[in-house]
Structure 1
C-alpha cells in the first residue's frame, strides 16, 4: 500500500513538472487585452471669425464635410508583462498584457503628418491610424511636448491625404460657432456643435503656461487629439480635455489653440524639441497675499514683480512695477493671456510690450531669449548661464549662476553665487554643468568650487 501511494505521488509530481516545462518553454504566453483610458487627469479632452448668427441660420455642413475626412482614429497599443501569480510561477506561464488606448488626430499635410495629443500616444509600443475611408496605417512618432500636450506622428500612404490647414486662433471670438470632430467612445467621424465659451483658460490654477480655448461643443473620451474648427472648416484648436465629475461631457471642453499647436509642430520638425521664447519677467499672481495687500488684484493686466538679469525685458527697459496691458495686438488681462501668446513664439522673435507705468502708457520692443536655466537634480539646484555683467564683476570667462536650491540647501545661501567647478572639472556653461553633474556618484565624496558675492572661492563637500 505504501509503495502504491509513493508511486502515485511520484507520478503526480512528475506530471506536474512535465506540464510546467511545457508551459514555460513550448506554449506561448496568454495575451490579455484591456482598454486603457488615456484621458488627462483633469477628467481623466489672416483670419476672420465665423459670423455670430443664430444656429438655424448657420450652415455647418461644409465645415463638417471638410473636416471629417481629415480627422483620424488613433490606436495606441502598449505591451507589458502582467504581474505573475503563484499559479503562473508554478506553471511557468509568462503572460503579456496589451493595453489599448484610442483617441483622435488631425491630418495637417497631404504627405501624412498628423497632430494629436501627447496623452493619446504616451507609452505606445505600437501606433496605428485609421482614416475616415477605413484604411489603416502604422504610424511613426515624430516628437511630442508634454507641457502643451501636443504630439506629431506620421503615416506613409500611397496617395495624398485630405488635410486641414492651421487657422489663426488669436482671431477666434467668444460666442463664435465651432465644431468638434473626433472619435468619442470609438464612434468614428463624430461631429458636435457649440460656441467658444472662453479663451485663455488655465485649468491648473497655479499660473502655469496653460491657455485653452473653452467650448460647449460636446467632447468625450476618444475626442482627444481631434479638431476644433469654425464654420468654414479652419482648424483653430486641438481638443484636449474636459472637466467633469463623471468622466463624460457636462458642458465644458477645452482645446489647445491652433497657434500654439502649429508652433510646437514646426519646432518638432525643425529642431526636434520645443523652442520657448523667454520674455524675462516674473509675475505677481493674483489672489496671492502680496497681491491682495497691495491692490494688485484690482488691476487689469499682469503686474511685473521682477525682471530677469540680462533678459530681453531688462534690455528693452521693462522694470519691476510695470503693468503689462498688451503684447502686439493681444490684450493681456490675466497671466494665461500672456503665456498663451508667448507659447506661440520662439527665441529671437520681437514682440511689442505695452505697459502702464505710473499711469502712463509705454511700449517696448522686446526680443525673446532662449530659456537657459537647468535643474541639476544630483546637486539639488537650478543654474543658468552667467551674464556679461557677472563675467566682468568676477573677472571670469565661464561658470553658471545658482538661481534656486532645494530646501535642504537653504542654510548655505547659495543663490546668486557662481558654480565654476565640480570634482576638478571646470564649468563654462549650463551644458558643461549638465554633463559633469550627470556623472556624479552620490555615494562618493564630491567637491564643488563656488565663488561667493565677493568673488572668493569656497569649496563645498556633498
Structure 2
C-alpha cells in the first residue's frame, strides 16, 4: 500500500565507505534545518455527500531568498482553504498559493512576508549524481513534530512505481527510493546529501501500517528545478507527441524477435493517437524510440518526462529503430500541446 507521506532514523550499513564521524549528521542538520518549514492547513473534503473541514500538516522547503517554498501537492493545492507556515525557529507566517505541477506531486507557495533577517534557502543538488548506497538525511515534520531528523541511504536511485496523478497516469519521472524513515507529515520536506544539498522532496511511502517500513520515495531535485523554472517563465503548456509506449527492457526475447526489435534500450510505440503528432510524422506502431533530440530514452517514465518538457509548436528530432531496417532513422516531429496545464 502506498501512503502519502512521512521520516525516523534507520541506518542501513556500518560498512558504508562514505567517511562519517560522530557529528557528521549534526553538522549537516545545522546547515539545512532553517530551510525546512512546517505547513499547517485546513481543507474542505466531501464526506458522505457533505462538505467537511479537515485540518492537517506537512512540510516544505524554502528555495529562494524571497520566500518561495516547495511542498507536495497533496499537502497544499489550489483547493486548500487556508494554510500557515511555521519556520524552524517557531515563527508563524502567512503564505499564498503560487502554483502546482499538473503531472507530479509538487506545489509552490510563497511567504506573504519575510522574517527579520530574511530566510535561508536550501542549496539545490544534482539528483542525477546520486548512487545507491549514498547516505541521505530526511528533515521534516512527521506527525507535526517540526525539525525531525532521520537518516538512511539511497536504496534505489531511479524507481518507477505506479502512483497515479490526475487523468490516471503515473508521474512522468523516476522517484528516489530511500530507507530513511518517512512518516505522515514528512510530505514536502527535505531529503539531503552529505553536502547538505537538497536532492529530493519526500512524497510517499510503501507501508502496510501507514507508518515507515523503510521504503520511502522522494521526487528528485532535478525535477523540482524544472517545475520551478516552469513557474519562473510562466510556462502554461506541456509537450505532447501522441503516442503510448512500453519499455523495451520489459519485453521478453520472444516478443522482441516477433516484432523484429534488436535495440537493447528505448521504448516501443504500442499505440498512436489518430491525428496526433506521431501519426502526422509517419511513426508506426512497434517503432522503437531511442532518442528525443539529444536525450537518450531509457524507459516509459523517462520518455514521459522528456515529452512533457518539449515546447508545443517546436520541432523535435527523434531517432527510431524500424522493423526491417538495419539502421536507425531520424524523424522530425511537430510537438503538440498536452491537455494538462502547468502552474
**Shorter-chain-normalised TM-score: which range?**
0.7 to 0.9
Q: Are residue 324 (structure 1) and residue 286 (structure 2) matched?
A: no
| Per-residue CA distance 1:53-94 (angstroms, 9 max, x = gap) | 3364694444322221101000012368999xxxxxxxxxxx
- Which runs of structure 2 are paired with 1:442-461 in the superposition (5 Å)? none
Indicate the residue corresponding to 2:223 in structure 1: 260
Q: CA deviation at 1:255?
A: 1.0
Kept after mapping to 2: 8 A contact 1:237/1:258: yes
- For the Cα contact (< 8 Å) 1:178–1:193, is it kept in 2? yes
Distance in 1 between residues matched to 2:262 and 2:151, nearest whole Å: 36
Match of 1:23 in 2: none
1:53 aligns to 2:17 (yes or no) = yes
Distance in 1, matches of 2:291 and 2:235, equals 31
CA contact (8 A) 2:241 2:336 kept: no
Q: Secondary structure at the match of 2:96?
A: strand
Structure 1 residue 189 and structure 2 residue 144: aligned?
no
- Pick from 114, 119, 126 the counterpart of residue 69 of structure 2: 114
Q: Distance in 2 between matches of 1:366 and 1:178?
A: 42
Equivalent pair of 1:142/1:154 in contact (CA under 8 Å)? yes
Alignment of 1:384-399 (within 5 A): none
Q: Tell me the residue number matched to 2:302.
A: 337
Whether the 8 Å CA contact 2:240–2:338 is kept in 1: the answer is: no
Residue matched to 1:67? 32
Q: Which residue of structure 2 lines up, in the alignment, with residue 371 of structure 1?
A: 337
1:82/1:54 Cα in 2 relative to 1: closer, same or farther (>3 Å)? Answer: closer
Are 2:181 and 2:212, in contact at CA under 8 Å, matched by a contact in 1?
yes
> Offset of 1:130 from its aligned partner?
0.5
Please tell me whether residue 211 in structure 1 is matched to residue 174 in structure 2: yes
Structure 1: state its 5+ residue gaps. Answer: 1-40, 46-51, 84-95, 375-462
Give the corresponding residue for 1:124: 80
Q: 1:132: how far off?
A: 0.6
Higher normalized contact order (CA 8 Å, seq sep 6+, divided by chain length) = 2
- Name the CA distance, whole Å, in 1 between partners of 2:223 and 2:161: 16
- Could you say what the CA RMSD is over the residues aligned between the two structures, in angstroms? 3.8
**Residue 133 of structure 1: aligned partner:** 89
- Gapped runs of 5+ residues in structure 2? 6-15
TM-score, reference length from structure 2:
0.75
Return the alpha-carbon distance in structure 1 between the equivalents of residues 292 and 196 of structure 2.
28
8 Å contact from structure 2 (residues 142, 183) kept in 1? yes
The answer to whether residue 58 in structure 2 is matched with residue 103 in structure 1 is yes
Q: Give the alignment of 1:12-411 within 5 angstroms.
A: 42-45=2-5, 53-54=17-18, 56=20, 59-78=24-43, 98-122=53-77, 123-155=79-111, 156-159=113-116, 160-204=118-162, 208=170, 209-271=172-234, 273=236, 275-284=237-246, 294=258, 300-306=265-271, 309=275, 311=277, 315=281, 319-327=284-292, 332-343=297-308, 346-347=311-312, 353-357=318-322, 360=326, 362=328, 364=330, 369-372=335-338
Preserved CA contact (<8 Å) 1:278 1:370: yes
Alpha-carbon shift at residue 325 of structure 1 (Å): 3.6
How far, CA to CA, are the matches of 2:175 and 2:61 in structure 1? Answer: 18
Tell me how far 1:238 sits from its aligned partner. Answer: 1.2
Q: By percentage of residues, which structure has more helix?
A: 1
TM-score, scaled relative to structure 1: 0.58
Displacement of 1:228 in angstroms is: 1.6
User: Would you tell me which structure has more strand in proportion to its own residues?
Assistant: 2
Q: Max radius of gyration: which structure?
A: 1
Give CA deviations for 1:367-424 in whole Å, capped at 9, x if unaligned: 77242559xxxxxxxxxxxxxxxxxxxxxxxxxxxxxxxxxxxxxxxxxxxxxxxxxx
CA distance in 1 between counterparts of 2:68 and 2:205 reads 26
Deviation string, structure 1 residues 195-219 (Cα, Å, up to 9, x no partner) = 2222443322787335212111211
Cα displacement (A) at 1:267: 2.3
SS at match of 2:143: helix
TM-superposed deviation, 1:327: 4.9
**Greater shift in the superposed pair: 347-356 or 162-171:** 347-356
